[in-house]
Chains A and B, each alone.
Chain A
Amino acid sequence: MSAIAMDIRRNRLMLSYLIVAVLLVLLAVAGGFLSDRFLTWRNIGNLLQQLIVLGMVSLGQTFVVLMGGIDLAIGSLVGALTVFLANFLEWRPDLVWLALPLALIAATGVGAINGLLTVVLRVHPLIVTLGMSSIIFGGTLMYRKEPGGSVPRAFADIAYTKVGGIPISAIVLVVIFALAGLWLQRTRTGRSIYFAGGDREAARLNGLPVDRIVVLAYALSGLCAGIAAIFLTARTGVGDPRIGVALTLQSVTPVVVGGTILAGGRGGVLGTFLGVLLVTMLNSLLNFVNVSSYYQWVIQGLIILIAVGIHSSRRK
C-alpha cells in the first residue's frame, strides 16, 4: 500500500519536473523569437555564470525545507560573508587560501547554530532564523555600512574563468548538485533528511537521531551560503552588507517551483535545479524585453503562488 502511495508520489513529482522542463523549453523558444541575441552563446554563457549564487542558496534552502524547516538567515549570512571576504582580502590579498576556508567554516558554524537553536529551544525555525538574520545583519552593518573592500585578480577569476566556453562556476554548481542528489538518495544520512521532514515523530520512534539531522541540514545550508558568498564576492569584487537582503526570498522560489513544498519530506535537488534555471532564464528574458525590475518582483510573487497552487492541488 505504502509502496503504491510512494509510487504515485514519485510519478507526480516526475510530472511536475516535466512541467518545469517544458516551461524552460518554451521560455527558450520565446526568448529566441523575442530577441535574436537571447539564444547566442554569449548570453547563454552569461546566464550560466549567474547560476551559481542563486543555485547554491537554493540548494541550501532545499536541504532545510526537505527536513521540514525554513532558513531565512541565508541572505544576511551571504551579505556578512561578502563583507568579511572583501575586507579580509583587501587587507591580505595573499591569504586567499586562508580566507576561503575561514568563510566556509564560519558559514557552516552559523548554520549549525540555527539548527541547534531550533532543536534546543524548540522554537519555530521561522522565528529562529528571522531573529538570527536580524542579528547577523545588524552585526554586519555595525562593522561596515557601505559596500567596500576589494579582491585580488586571481580570486576574481574564479567567477569568470571558462573551460570550453562553459563557466567553471556552472560546472562546480552541477557537480555539487549531482553530489547532493546522490547523497540524499543513496546514503543513510541523506535519506534520513527526508524521514525527518516527513513524519518527525515516526522518524524519532524509528530511532533516527532527528535532532542531529536538523542541525546537519542547517549546517549544510550555511555551507551552501558560504560557497555562494565566495562566488558572489569574486564576481562583484566588493563586500556589500545589503547584497543578501533579496537573496533570502529568492532562495525560496526555486524550491517552491521545484515542487519541494514547504511541508517537507518531498521533492529533491533536481526540482530545485530546474527551478533555478527557470527563474534565472525568466529574469534574463524579462531584461531582454526591457520589462522593469519592478514588474519582475510582481512576476516572482505570482510564480510562487502559481507553483504553490499547482503543487498543493496535486497533493489532494
Chain B
Amino acid sequence: MTPLDTPMQRSQSISIASVFERYGLVIFLVALMVVAAIASPTFLRPANLVNVLTIAAPLGMVVVGQTFVILVRGLDLSVASLMATVAVLATAFKATTNEAIPMIFIAAIALSAMVGLVNGWLVAKRNVSPFLATLAMMIILQGARFAYTGGAPISTLPPGMGFLASGRVLGIPVNLITLAFLAIAFGIVLHRSRLGREIFMVGSNPKAAFLNGVAPDRVVILCYVICSVCAGIGGLFLLGYVGTVSNWVGQGYELDSIVAAVMGGVALSGGRGNVFAALLGVAVLVVINNLVLLLGFPIEMQLIIKGIIIIGAAAFYRTRLA
C-alpha cells in the first residue's frame, strides 16, 4: 500500500456502503412500525409516538457522544454513571427557581468535560484500554455519588427542568428540539469539519493520521470529552423527565447507547459511522421497547431482545463489510 493509495476511493466506497446500511435500517424501522401498528392500534396514536420520542431523546443525546468515542476505536461505559452523577449534582444546588438552570447546566457540563478529559487522558496518554478506563470511571463516579447522597433519592429541582424534559414548543417536545440541535451541531463537526476528518482518520488508522500531521492523542481525548458532555446533557434532560434522582438515573444507558450506535452501523473497529444513522438505531431500539410493552410481554423481555439485537447487528455489519 503506497501512501497515495487513495484515501478518496476508500472513503467513497465506504460511504456507498454506509448509505446502503442506512437504508437497510430505515427499512427495518418501517417494518417494525408496521408490525407495531398492526399489533396495537395504540401505537400510531400521536400521543404514543410523542411519548416514545420523548423517552428516546436523552438516549439520543448519549448516542451522539458514544458515536464519537466508538469512531476512535473506543467505548464509554461510564456514560450512565455520569448521567446519574450529573443529576445528583443538579439537585445539589437545592434550587427551586428557574434562575438556577443556567448554573446547573454550566456545572453539569464542566463536570462532564472533566470526566471526559480523564477518560481520554487515560486512554490516549496512559494506554489504558477504553474498557478498563471507563469502567473504573463508572465505579468511581458511582461511589462518589452514593457517598454524597447516602443512597437516598432527592427531588429538589427548579420547575423549568421538568419543562425542558417534557414540555413542548409549538407542539414539539423541547427535548427533541434540543436533541436535533445537538445532533446537527455535532453532525456538522463530524461530517463536515476538519476535526471530523481527523477523527475518521485517527479511527481508521492512527499511524497514518499521525504521519499526516494529526495528533491522535488530542483527537481521542476530545472525542471522550464530547461523549461525556453529551452524556451529561442527556442526564439533565432525563432527570427532568424522571423528576427525582434515584442515584440510578440512566441505568442501562451504557449498553443501550452502544447497542444503538452499533445498530446504526458505527463500527466498533473504528473509523466508520454516522451520527444520524446511530440515531436511527435509537429509534429502532425505542420502537422495539415500546412494541414489547404494547404486545403485553413482560418488560424483562426488552433485555433479551436487546441482547440478541446487539450481537446480531454487530455480526450483520461485520459480514456485510468484510
- Which residues of A are at the interface with B, using a C-beta cutoff of 8 A? 70, 117, 121-124, 126-128, 130-139, 141-142, 145, 249, 252, 256, 262-263, 292, 294-302, 304-305, 308-309, 312-313, 315
Q: How far is the CB of A61 from chain B (nearest CB, A)?
A: 13
Question: B136 and A302: CB pair below 8 A?
Answer: yes
Q: How far is the CB of A251 from chain B (nearest CB, A)?
A: 12
Question: A139 and B304: CB pair below 8 A?
Answer: yes
Say yes or no for B52: interface residue by CB 8 A criterion.
no
Question: B132 and A134: CB pair below 8 A?
Answer: no
* Of the residues A121, A136, A309, A315, contact of B315 by C-beta under 8 Å: A121
Given known A-B contacts A117-B311, A121-B311, A294-B147, A262 and B139 have beta carbons under 8 A apart? no
* Bound CA–CA A228/B6 (angstroms): 53
Which chain A residues lie closer than 8 Å to B318 at the CB level? 121-123
Question: A123 and B311: CB pair below 8 A?
Answer: yes
Which chain A residues lie closer than 8 Å to B314 at the CB level? 121, 123-124, 127-128
Binds A, one of B33-41, B188-196, B215-223, B294-302: B294-302
Tell me which of B75, B139, B151, B255 has the highest count of chain A C-beta atoms within 10 A of its own C-beta: B139
Say yes or no for B153: interface residue by CB 8 A criterion.
no
Q: List residues 284-308 of chain B with CB under 8 A from any CB of chain A.
A: 298, 300-308
Given known A-B contacts A70-B131, A298-B147, A134 and B255 have beta carbons under 8 A apart? yes
Give 9 closest A-B pairs by Cβ, nearest first.
Answer: A138-B303, A297-B143, A134-B307, A298-B143, A135-B307, A301-B140, A301-B139, A294-B146, A121-B315
Q: How big is the B interface, by class?
A: 35 or more
Q: Residue-by-residue, is B75-93 near A (CB-CB < 8 Å gives 1, otherwise 0)?
A: 1000000000000000000
* Bound CA–CA A130/B127 (angstroms): 23
- Which residues of B are at the interface with A, using a C-beta cutoff of 8 A? 75, 122, 126-129, 131-133, 135-140, 142-144, 146-147, 151, 255, 258, 262, 268, 298, 300-311, 314-315, 318, 322
Which chain A residues lie closer than 8 Å to B262 at the CB level? 127
Question: B310 and A126: CB pair below 8 A?
Answer: no
Question: B133 and A305: CB pair below 8 A?
Answer: yes
* Of the residues A141, A256, A294, A312, contact of B300 by C-beta under 8 Å: A141
Whose C-beta in chain A lies nearest to the C-beta of B302?
A: A138
Which chain B residues lie closer than 8 Å to A263 at the CB level? 129
Question: B144 and A298: CB pair below 8 A?
Answer: yes
Which chain B residues lie closer than 8 Å to A138 at the CB level? 300-307
Question: B304 and A135: CB pair below 8 A?
Answer: yes
